A and B are shown apart, each in its own frame.
Chain A
Amino acid sequence: AQSVTQPDIHITVSEGASLELRCNYSYGATPYLFWYVQSPGQGLQLLLKYFSGDTLVQGIKGFEAEFKRSQSSFNLRKPSVHWSDAAEYFCAVGAREYGNKLVFGAGTILRVKS
């Protein structure tokens, strides 16, 4: 069965510092991987996605993520965090073999201190 683990429930970083949010997945096939961001009371906005090819993917708002098959990881990074990045971040996995549903992690809440 598919599963996604986001080990960090909360992360606090200073504005201007770098950020890495961890995501590990359990999957038997080649997954499609996504990072979404959710501001309070809002829906989900797609930050970036990985389907195939280059394992380092660039997304919106200066985010990037790297797919590491050997570690079953898809960590999200940003070199310099802005106060507006404070939100909840969700990693999700899907695959054609399991239909097209997405399985989400529990999320990581990012706090940015000035």
Chain B
Amino acid sequence: DAGVTQSPTHLIKTRGQQVTLRCSPKSGHDTVSWYQQALGQGPQFIFQYYEEEERQRGNFPDRFSGHQFPNYSSELNVNALLLGDSALYLCASSLSGAPGNEQFFGPGTRLTVL
């Protein structure tokens, strides 16, 4: 079992650009959540996808959007990048309906905005 995988590992962009991050969930999982972890802080929930739809969203602007594909993999898109978007972006997968919906995290994508 490969667990949750994310690509790319690192990414450098400039202000105003757009970025797409990718996530493949753990085998058997159908739900994907995305979190932003700024330096020195705990992860913050961006949104969650289930059955190819956004099921829940945190307090993030519309510049942050996502998608889930039929194979349950997911993308996070960020438009009009700001310096403050520099962070580690974590993807977590879970099985809908499982007790507590335990989430398994990937290694993250480190985004640097210059």
Residues of A within 8 A of B (CB): 4, 32, 34, 36, 41-46, 49, 51, 90, 92, 94, 96, 99-107
Q: Tell me if B94 is interfacial: C-beta within 8 Å of chain A.
A: yes
Question: Which listed residue, B33, B100, B104, touches A101 by the CB 8 Å rule?
Answer: B33
- Flag if B42 contacts A90 (CB, 8 Å): yes
Contact of B90 among A32, A34, A44 (CB under 8 A): A44
The answer to whether the Cβ of B102 comes within 8 Å of any Cβ in the partner chain is yes
CB-CB < 8 A to B48: which residues of A? Answer: 99-101
Which of B44, B56, B103 has the largest count of A CB atoms less than 10 A from its CB? B103
Q: Which residues of A contact B43 (CB under 8 A)?
A: 44, 90, 102, 104
- Chain B 95-112 per-residue mask, 1 if CB under 8 angstroms from chain A, else 0: 010011111111110100
Q: Which chain A residues lie closer than 8 Å to B55 at the CB level?
A: 99
A101 to B55 Cα, complex, angstroms: 10
| Inter-subunit contact B101/A94 (CB<8 Å) | yes
